[in-house]
A = this chain, B = another copy of it.
């Protein structure tokens, strides 16, 4: 099985830093989202593809663990890894490193489910997602 992964550098916005001069925890959700979008573009699993196939894929479980602070001016990068599962879910884990010294700054994971356009939960993998798995994994 192939390991699907993407790594992108990112800049810390001044507005993302709090009064402690470190990135406010809620902003990690944005970095995770950026990583998912980059993954989606690389592997053709972005929001619009999912939507055009008739589904939403909302986040239903997300966890973030902080190791070291991210400071304004730091050069972090985020790696997103696809975690295979048989359930009708999309699971990722995340790692944020300081690109200067390789230090681990944070980790996280997320779970998305599939809803149809009437917001009903889909219990089996949608056909387009089965095809995607066959192609990429």
Residues of chain A having any CB pair with chain B under 8 Å: 11, 13-15, 17-22, 24-26, 29-30, 33-34, 37, 47-48, 56, 58-66, 69, 72-73, 119
Contact = CB atoms under 8 A, between A and B. Distances in A.
Given A15-B33, A29-B26, A30-B13, A61 B72 contact: no
B29 A29 contact: yes
Report the copy number of this chain in the oligomer. Answer: 4
B61 A69 contact: no
19 contacts: A14-B18, A14-B33, A14-B37, A17-B18, A17-B19, A18-B19, A19-B19, A20-B58, A22-B119, A25-B29, A25-B62, A26-B29, A26-B30, A29-B29, A47-B72, A60-B65, A61-B65, A61-B66, A62-B63
Contacts of A63: 61-64
